[in-house]
Amino acid sequence: MNPITRWWRRVRTVRLRPVDPTTCALRRGLERDLNDGPAQRVAALSVELGLLSVDLPDNPVLTGRIDELQGSLAAVLDELREIGGALYPPVLSSDGFEPALHAVAERHGVALAVHSDPVDRATAAAACLAVADHLRSVPRDTHVDVRVRRGLGSVWVDVTEERACG
């Protein structure tokens, strides 16, 4: 069987749901609140449990239970960070549009190419959030091409997917 009949490639252009500046600000605030509030408290609880295990007499049952609880707290902390990253990728604030999209794509097993005209920070954030939301629904091993074009007072974000199915 030749490669053409063995692999079916589907290419499609998707329509993104726009993200307005108010939504961007809200999502960024929620991500910060989640990271600065519950995530910090969960991390502190894990440290307190670790200190408690040091102060306990040598009791393998209690030490084992504390280790299990610390593992559970670590899993909760990972989930909180994942939710925070879905709301507003932390890399977006520090490194910008392209690195943030690549971080989301890598986390979801999606190959990504980004071609972008220079855009202002607010536009880049809105485009990033719209594309990141879409990337979370794309099947693994899909190649996604993102093009951000600017002109005549508008910005266009084109997303094309290429999937290989066997």
How many Cβ atoms are within 10 Å of 106's Cβ, its own excluded? Answer: 12
Amino acid at 41: R
* Greater pLDDT, 11 or 93: 93
Cβ–Cβ under 8 Å, residues 116 and 97: yes
Domain boundaries, given as residue ranges, for the chain: 3-17+96-165, 25-87
pLDDT of residue 164: 66
Average pLDDT, the chain: 82
φ, ψ for residue 111, nearest 5 deg: -80, 135
Q: What is the pTM of this model?
A: 0.65
Q: Of 100, 106, 104, 145, whose CA–CA distance to 121 is shortest?
A: 100
Cβ–Cβ under 8 Å, residues 144 and 111: yes
pLDDT of residue 12: 47
* pLDDT at 38 exceeding the cut of 50: yes
Q: Which residue in this structure is represented by tokens 């999937």?
A: 163
Confidence of residue 44 (pLDDT cuts 50, 70, 90): very high
pLDDT tens digits, residue range 2-19?
444 334 344 445 555 666
- Summarize the confidence of residues 62-78 as an average pLDDT: 92
**What percent of the chain has pLDDT above 70?**
87
